[in-house]
Copies of this chain bind each other. A is one copy, B any other.
Amino acid sequence: MDVLASLPDNRAIRGNVPICTNSLEGFLANFESYLVDRAKYCDHAVRELAVQALMSGGKRIRPALVHACGTGNLAVSKNLIKAGAIVEFVHVATLVHDDVLDDASIRRDRQTVYADRGATAAILLGDALFAHALEMASEFPENEVCRWVATATRRTCSGEIQQSFLRGDFTLTSLRYRQIIEAKTAELFSVSCRLGSHVAGLDDATSALACDFGRRLGLAYQIFDDLADVFGREADFGKSLGRDLAHGKVTLPTITLFSKLSNFEAARLHETLLNSGREPNPEIVLEMIDLMRTHGVHEECRELLDEELSAIGNTLSEFTDDTIARHLGDLRQVIVDRVAILLG
C-alpha cells in the first residue's frame, strides 16, 4: 500500500506526520513505494529508466542510516522517507554513471541501463536523478538540506575523479586511498546520518556524532567492497572479480601487497605494471591475486578492517539515545556479517 500517496502534500510540517512505527522494515516498505512514486514525477521518457535503475535490488544501506538516526523513539514520518529517497537517488545516479565509466553490463545480477539503453541514456538518466534528488532536498523549508546534499554530491564526484585520475598509479599511498574513499563513499554515508538527525531534530552534539559514525562506516564499507573485488566469490557478490585491478584502480589489497614485497620484488612488479599500461592484462591481475594470497594480504586486510569495525562499535556507547545506538549497531553488524562471509 502506498501510504505516502494518500497524504495531502509533501511539505514541511505535514511531512512530519507519523506514517508507521519506527521499525526498519516498516520504513523500507514505505520507502520503496515512495521511490517508485517519485520516479513517476519524471517525464515519460525518463520514468521507465528511472524505475529500472532505482529498483535494481540495492541494499538501501544509506536510507537505513537515515532511518537509524531519524527515528529513535519517534515514528517514521514522510520527511524521513523523503530524506532516505534523496540519498538513494544520489547513490543510484552515481551507480548509473559508474556503469558507463566501467563499461559494466551487469550490476546485482541485472542488466545495467547502460548495457540496455546505451551510454547516452545512462549519462542523461544519471543527470536527471541527481537533479531530482536536489529537487526533493529543496522541498524541505530549510535550505541547509539542499546545501548538505549538493556539497556531498560534489565531493562524491570529486572522489570519483581523483580515483579515476590515479588509475594505473601503483605507488598510491594508504593515506591517499583513504582520502579518496572518504570523498567517494563516506561523504554520502555521513550526509545520510545528517539528514536523519535533522528530521528527528537531534541536538548538534548527537548529530555530529551520528555524522562521524556514518563517515567511518562508509570508509569501512568501501574497504570491504574493495576487498570483495579481490577476495570474493562471484556467486556471493554478483559481480566479476578483479575488476578494479583490471581497470588499474588501486585499492587496499594492492597497497598492502606492495608493503609486503621486498624492494626487489616491488620494483619488478612496478616495472611489469608500467609496461602493461593503465589497465593490467588478465595474466598480471591473476599473478597479483596469487601474490596477495602468498603474502597474507587477505589476513592483514581482515585485521585492519576488524580494527576499523571494532572502533566504530566502540563509538556506539557515546550515544545517549539507546534506540539510535541499537539501530546504528544493527547496520554495523550487517557489514561485520558480510566481512565474515567474505574473509572467513
Contacts and interface: CB of A to CB of B under 8 A. Distances in A.
Contact of A165 (B45, B123, B139, B147): B45
Given A42-B158, A124-B161, A101 B130 contact: no
A173 B5 CA distance: 35
Contacts of A120: 101, 164
Contacts of A131: 130, 150-151, 153-154, 157
A146 interface: yes
Given A135-B151, A151-B135, A121 B165 contact: yes
Given A45-B165, A143-B142, A134 B150 contact: yes
A126 interface: yes
A127 B126 contact: yes
Contacts of A140: 143
Interface string A147-179: 101110111011011101100000000000000
Contacts of A125: 161
A296 interface: no
B121 A100 contact: no
Interface residues of A, number: 49
A128 interface: yes
A138 interface: yes
Nearest to A136: B150
A97 interface: yes
Interface in A87-146: 93-94, 97, 100-101, 119-121, 123-128, 130-132, 134-135, 137-146
Interface of A: 42-43, 45-46, 49, 93-94, 97, 100-101, 119-121, 123-128, 130-132, 134-135, 137-147, 149-151, 153-155, 157-158, 160-162, 164-165, 183
Q: What are the 10 tightest A-B residue pairs by CB atom distance, in nearest-first order?
A: A138-B147, A131-B154, A134-B150, A138-B146, A143-B143, A131-B153, A146-B146, A135-B150, A128-B157, A43-B158
21 contacts: A43-B161, A43-B162, A45-B158, A93-B127, A97-B124, A100-B119, A101-B119, A101-B120, A119-B119, A121-B165, A123-B123, A130-B131, A131-B150, A134-B146, A135-B151, A135-B154, A138-B144, A141-B143, A143-B143, A143-B145, A143-B146
